[in-house]
């Protein structure tokens, strides 16, 4: 099977034009979805009988946590593609995704902490999910630190790709270990982020927020990818003609 269409699609001039055109098509729906989701979650959805209005932060926390893992998986896949088939654009996707993933992870941690404060009385508790997210944040930091320390761009791309793949293989192991660790030490206080039982009219804002965040990620990815292409192809002739046109 000929992969030339993929190579052609991922050639920098093509990618530059396509990402430019796609970005608004992803950005505006993202905004619409997020606004709808927030309205649905913060205003329309009924208050949880146990947690009152405090649970509403779930509408930001859960999608953020989901995105943090989705982005890691996307990044690792892109990195693997870049490593195996030597497609520079794939490395660009990985490079652009890492900070985004880190921000979503941080958002998940912050909202998780805010959610837990009324329940636990403290800003932090070693809940299994939160601890798992924290370790994920460390993995993101490691990736970004490695990329920043290597000056040669090709070496940086390939080294972070190997690290991303190692990370994704380790992720299930880390998850399982942290959950197991958390079940061992059940103190008197219940330290789990209690998930409220979800009914239908509570669910749809969650899914809308999730879709909104996903569109947002791809929109920002397009923009960042464009910037990556500009950075990497700085001296290329096609760029000069493109920009002067």
Give the binding site for other proteins (CB under 8 A). Answer: 83, 135, 138-139, 141-142, 145-146, 149-150, 152, 154-155, 158-159, 162-163, 165-167, 169-170, 173-174, 176-178, 180-181, 184
> Which lies closer to other proteins via its Cβ, residue 44 or residue 166?
166
Q: What angle do CA 192, 196, 201 make, to 5 degrees?
A: 155
> Which lies closer to other proteins via its Cβ, residue 99 or residue 142?
142
Q: What residues contact 89, with CB distance under 8 A and at least 6 apart?
A: 10, 11, 12, 15, 82, 225, 229
Under 8 Å between Cβ of 98 and 113: no
CB of 181 to other proteins, least distance (A): 5
> Which lies closer to other proteins via its Cβ, residue 31 or residue 166?
166
d(CA 229, CA 223): 10
CB of 162 to other proteins, least distance (A): 5
CB of 86 to other proteins, least distance (A): 8
3-class secondary structure, 234? coil
> Which lies closer to other proteins via its Cβ, residue 58 or residue 171?
171
CB of 184 to other proteins, least distance (A): 7
CB of 161 to other proteins, least distance (A): 9
Transcribe 26-92 into DSSP letters: HHHHHHHHHHHHHHIIIIISPPBTTTBGGGGGHHHHHHHHHHHHHHHHHHHHHHHHHHHH--HHHHH
- Tell the burial category of 40 from Cβ atoms under 10 Å away from its Cβ (0-12, 13-18, 19+): buried
d(CA 213, CA 209): 6
> Which lies closer to other proteins via its Cβ, residue 58 or residue 163?
163
> Which lies closer to other proteins via its Cβ, residue 185 or residue 197?
185
Under 8 Å between Cβ of 196 and 48: yes
User: Which residue carries 């995704």 as its tokens?
Assistant: 97
Under 8 Å between Cβ of 195 and 50: no
CB of 146 to other proteins, least distance (A): 6
CB of 152 to other proteins, least distance (A): 8
Helices 153-184 and 128-149 cross at an angle (nearest 10°) of 160
> Which lies closer to other proteins via its Cβ, residue 154 or residue 201?
154
């Amino acid at each position: 099977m000929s992969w030339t269409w993929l190579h052609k699609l991922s050639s920098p001039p093509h990618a530059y034009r396509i990402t430019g055109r796609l970005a608004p098509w992803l950005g505006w729906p993202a905004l619409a979805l997020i606004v709808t989701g927030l309205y649905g979650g913060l205003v329309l959805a009924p208050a949880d009988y146990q947690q009152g209005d405090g649970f509403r932060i779930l509408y930001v926390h859960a999608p953020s946590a989901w995105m943090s893992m989705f982005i890691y998986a996307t990044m690792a896949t892109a990195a693997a593609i870049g490593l195996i088939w030597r497609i520079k654009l794939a490395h660009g996707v990985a490079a652009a995704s890492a900070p985004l993933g880190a921000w979503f992870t941080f958002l998940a941690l912050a909202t998780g902490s805010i959610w837990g404060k009324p329940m636990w009385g403290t800003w932090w508790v070693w809940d299994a999910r939160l601890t798992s997210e924290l370790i994920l944040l460390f993995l993101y930091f490691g990736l970004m630190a490695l990329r920043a320390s290597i000056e040669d761009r090709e070496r940086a791309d390939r080294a972070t790709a190997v690290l991303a793949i190692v990370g994704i293989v380790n992720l299930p192991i880390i998850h399982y270990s942290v959950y197991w660790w958390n079940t061992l030490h059940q103190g008197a206080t219940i330290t789990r982020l209690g998930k409220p039982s979800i009914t239908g009219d509570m669910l749809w804002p969650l899914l809308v927020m999730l879709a909104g965040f996903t569109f947002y990620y791809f929109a920002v990815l397009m923009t960042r990818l464009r910037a990556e292409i500009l950075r990497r192809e700085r001296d290329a002739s096609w760029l000069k003609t493109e920009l002067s046109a």
